[in-house]
Amino acid sequence: MPARLDVLTVGYADDRVAGTVVAIRDGDLVAVVDPGMVADRRRILDPLSALGVPAEAVTDVVFSHHHPDHTLNAALFTSARFHDFQAIYHDDVWQDRQWTGDTSHLSPSVRLLRTPGHTAEDVSTVVDTADGLVVCTHLWWTADGPADDPFAPDRELLRASRAKVLALRPALVVPGHGAPFTPSAGTPT
Protein backbone atom coordinates (compact mmCIF):
# COMPACT_ATOMS: atom_id res chain seq x y z
CA MET A 1 0.00 0.00 0.00
CA PRO A 2 1.55 3.35 -0.96
CA ALA A 3 2.08 6.17 1.50
CA ARG A 4 -0.17 9.21 1.81
CA LEU A 5 1.48 12.63 1.59
CA ASP A 6 -0.22 15.93 2.51
CA VAL A 7 1.27 19.41 2.38
CA LEU A 8 0.40 21.06 5.69
CA THR A 9 1.64 24.53 4.79
CA VAL A 10 3.30 26.01 1.70
CA GLY A 11 6.39 28.01 2.49
CA TYR A 12 7.86 31.17 1.02
CA ALA A 13 11.13 33.10 1.08
CA ASP A 14 10.99 36.82 0.41
CA ASP A 15 10.80 39.61 3.02
CA ARG A 16 9.56 36.88 5.42
CA VAL A 17 10.44 33.19 5.53
CA ALA A 18 8.42 30.02 6.11
CA GLY A 19 9.28 26.46 5.17
CA THR A 20 6.98 24.06 3.37
CA VAL A 21 5.82 21.45 5.91
CA VAL A 22 4.60 17.99 4.89
CA ALA A 23 2.84 15.09 6.64
CA ILE A 24 3.41 11.50 5.51
CA ARG A 25 1.48 8.45 6.63
CA ASP A 26 2.62 4.94 5.80
CA GLY A 27 1.33 2.15 8.04
CA ASP A 28 2.58 2.90 11.56
CA LEU A 29 4.74 5.79 10.32
CA VAL A 30 3.25 9.25 10.85
CA ALA A 31 5.99 11.69 9.84
CA VAL A 32 6.30 15.44 9.56
CA VAL A 33 9.01 16.81 7.26
CA ASP A 34 10.67 20.16 8.06
CA PRO A 35 8.48 21.62 10.83
CA GLY A 36 10.28 24.94 10.72
CA MET A 37 9.37 28.59 10.68
CA VAL A 38 5.74 29.46 9.91
CA ALA A 39 3.67 32.58 10.65
CA ASP A 40 1.88 30.70 13.44
CA ARG A 41 2.34 27.12 14.65
CA ARG A 42 -1.37 26.57 13.95
CA ARG A 43 -0.29 26.53 10.29
CA ILE A 44 1.22 23.13 11.10
CA LEU A 45 -1.10 21.84 13.81
CA ASP A 46 -4.49 22.74 12.30
CA PRO A 47 -3.99 20.97 8.93
CA LEU A 48 -2.51 18.00 10.79
CA SER A 49 -5.56 17.89 13.06
CA ALA A 50 -7.84 18.09 10.00
CA LEU A 51 -6.16 14.86 8.84
CA GLY A 52 -7.14 13.28 12.17
CA VAL A 53 -3.58 13.35 13.47
CA PRO A 54 -2.91 14.97 16.85
CA ALA A 55 0.67 16.23 17.41
CA GLU A 56 1.36 13.49 19.95
CA ALA A 57 0.56 10.82 17.31
CA VAL A 58 3.46 11.94 15.08
CA THR A 59 6.02 9.15 15.25
CA ASP A 60 8.84 10.71 13.23
CA VAL A 61 10.15 14.14 12.22
CA VAL A 62 12.57 14.56 9.31
CA PHE A 63 14.94 17.50 8.91
CA SER A 64 16.10 18.07 5.33
CA HIS A 65 18.90 20.13 6.91
CA HIS A 66 19.51 22.06 10.11
CA HIS A 67 18.57 25.64 9.24
CA PRO A 68 16.01 27.05 11.73
CA ASP A 69 13.46 27.74 9.00
CA HIS A 70 13.14 23.93 8.72
CA THR A 71 13.55 22.86 12.36
CA LEU A 72 12.14 25.58 14.64
CA ASN A 73 8.84 23.83 15.53
CA ALA A 74 10.21 20.32 16.08
CA ALA A 75 9.31 20.48 19.78
CA LEU A 76 5.60 20.35 18.86
CA PHE A 77 6.05 16.59 18.41
CA THR A 78 6.95 15.31 21.86
CA SER A 79 6.72 11.58 21.11
CA ALA A 80 8.58 11.59 17.79
CA ARG A 81 11.91 10.23 16.68
CA PHE A 82 13.94 12.86 14.84
CA HIS A 83 15.85 12.08 11.65
CA ASP A 84 18.66 13.85 9.85
CA PHE A 85 21.59 12.86 7.64
CA GLN A 86 23.54 11.50 10.60
CA ALA A 87 21.27 9.77 13.07
CA ILE A 88 17.91 9.03 14.63
CA TYR A 89 17.32 10.87 17.91
CA HIS A 90 14.70 9.94 20.50
CA ASP A 91 14.67 11.23 24.05
CA ASP A 92 18.27 10.63 25.18
CA VAL A 93 19.16 8.00 22.56
CA TRP A 94 21.35 8.87 19.57
CA GLN A 95 21.38 6.04 17.00
CA ASP A 96 23.69 6.41 14.03
CA ARG A 97 21.78 6.28 10.76
CA GLN A 98 22.28 3.13 8.71
CA TRP A 99 22.74 3.90 5.02
CA THR A 100 22.62 1.50 2.11
CA GLY A 101 24.51 3.55 -0.42
CA ASP A 102 22.74 6.92 -0.39
CA THR A 103 19.44 5.54 0.98
CA SER A 104 18.00 4.95 4.45
CA HIS A 105 14.46 3.55 4.86
CA LEU A 106 11.90 4.88 7.32
CA SER A 107 9.07 2.57 6.17
CA PRO A 108 8.25 0.42 3.13
CA SER A 109 7.21 3.48 1.08
CA VAL A 110 9.36 6.23 2.65
CA ARG A 111 13.11 6.65 2.48
CA LEU A 112 15.74 9.29 2.94
CA LEU A 113 18.18 10.04 0.13
CA ARG A 114 21.49 11.83 0.62
CA THR A 115 21.28 14.95 -1.53
CA PRO A 116 23.92 17.46 -0.46
CA GLY A 117 23.54 20.80 -2.17
CA HIS A 118 21.78 23.54 -0.21
CA THR A 119 24.02 22.36 2.66
CA ALA A 120 26.57 19.56 2.72
CA GLU A 121 24.25 17.54 5.01
CA ASP A 122 20.97 17.70 3.05
CA VAL A 123 18.65 14.72 2.76
CA SER A 124 15.53 14.44 0.64
CA THR A 125 12.47 12.44 1.68
CA VAL A 126 11.34 10.12 -1.12
CA VAL A 127 7.77 8.85 -0.90
CA ASP A 128 5.98 6.24 -3.01
CA THR A 129 2.35 7.44 -3.24
CA ALA A 130 -0.68 6.29 -5.23
CA ASP A 131 -0.05 9.26 -7.55
CA GLY A 132 3.61 8.39 -8.12
CA LEU A 133 6.94 9.22 -6.55
CA VAL A 134 7.10 12.45 -4.52
CA VAL A 135 10.37 14.01 -3.34
CA CYS A 136 10.46 16.53 -0.49
CA THR A 137 13.73 18.40 -0.86
CA HIS A 138 15.53 21.69 -0.38
CA LEU A 139 17.48 21.29 -3.62
CA TRP A 140 14.91 23.74 -4.98
CA TRP A 141 13.35 26.54 -2.93
CA THR A 142 10.45 26.82 -5.41
CA ALA A 143 9.64 25.48 -8.88
CA ASP A 144 11.89 28.22 -10.29
CA GLY A 145 14.96 27.27 -8.29
CA PRO A 146 16.74 29.52 -7.68
CA ALA A 147 19.06 28.21 -10.36
CA ASP A 148 22.01 29.38 -8.25
CA ASP A 149 21.20 28.74 -4.60
CA PRO A 150 22.95 31.59 -2.74
CA PHE A 151 23.64 29.34 0.26
CA ALA A 152 24.95 26.29 -1.62
CA PRO A 153 28.59 25.73 -0.62
CA ASP A 154 29.32 23.74 -3.80
CA ARG A 155 27.37 24.50 -7.00
CA GLU A 156 28.50 21.27 -8.73
CA LEU A 157 27.37 19.16 -5.76
CA LEU A 158 23.97 20.91 -5.88
CA ARG A 159 23.72 20.20 -9.61
CA ALA A 160 24.66 16.52 -9.12
CA SER A 161 22.04 16.05 -6.38
CA ARG A 162 19.38 17.76 -8.49
CA ALA A 163 20.23 15.42 -11.36
CA LYS A 164 20.02 12.42 -8.97
CA VAL A 165 16.51 13.46 -7.88
CA LEU A 166 15.31 14.16 -11.42
CA ALA A 167 16.67 10.76 -12.54
CA LEU A 168 14.12 9.19 -10.17
CA ARG A 169 11.44 10.69 -12.44
CA PRO A 170 9.30 12.04 -9.60
CA ALA A 171 5.68 12.87 -10.31
CA LEU A 172 6.01 15.76 -7.87
CA VAL A 173 8.73 17.71 -6.07
CA VAL A 174 7.90 19.47 -2.81
CA PRO A 175 10.48 22.28 -2.53
CA GLY A 176 11.73 23.89 0.67
CA HIS A 177 9.84 27.19 0.33
CA GLY A 178 7.13 26.78 -2.27
CA ALA A 179 4.23 24.84 -3.68
CA PRO A 180 4.73 21.32 -5.03
CA PHE A 181 5.58 21.17 -8.73
CA THR A 182 5.88 18.64 -11.52
CA PRO A 183 9.44 18.63 -12.84
CA SER A 184 9.84 19.57 -16.49
CA ALA A 185 12.58 20.30 -18.99
CA GLY A 186 12.67 23.84 -17.54
CA THR A 187 13.37 22.69 -13.98
CA PRO A 188 16.72 24.23 -12.93
CA THR A 189 19.59 21.80 -12.51
Residue 146 placed within a domain: yes
Q: 161 is in which domain, residue-wise?
A: 4-84+102-174
Q: Which CATH number covers residue 66?
A: 3.60.15.10
Within 13 Å of residue 179, how many CA atoms lie on the same side as its CB?
A: 2
Residue 94 placed within a domain: no
Q: 13 Cβ partners below 8 Å, 6+ apart?
A: 69, 141, 142, 176, 177
Residue 167 placed within a domain: yes
Q: For the chain, how many structural domains are there in total?
A: 1
**Can you tell me the distance from the alpha carbon of 15 to that of 151, in angstroms, rounded to the nearest whole number?**
17
Residue 179 placed within a domain: no
Q: What pTM did the predictor assign?
A: 0.97
Residue 37 placed within a domain: yes
Residue 56 placed within a domain: yes
8-state DSSP, 50: H
Which pLDDT tens digits describe the chain residue by residue (189 residues)?
A: 899 999 999 999 999 999 999 999 999 999 999 999 999 999 999 999 999 999 999 999 999 999 999 999 999 999 999 999 999 999 999 999 999 999 999 999 999 999 999 999 999 999 999 999 999 999 999 999 899 899 999 999 999 999 999 999 999 999 999 999 999 999 999
What is the Cα Rg of the chain in Å?
A: 15
pLDDT score, position 47: 98
Residue 97 placed within a domain: no
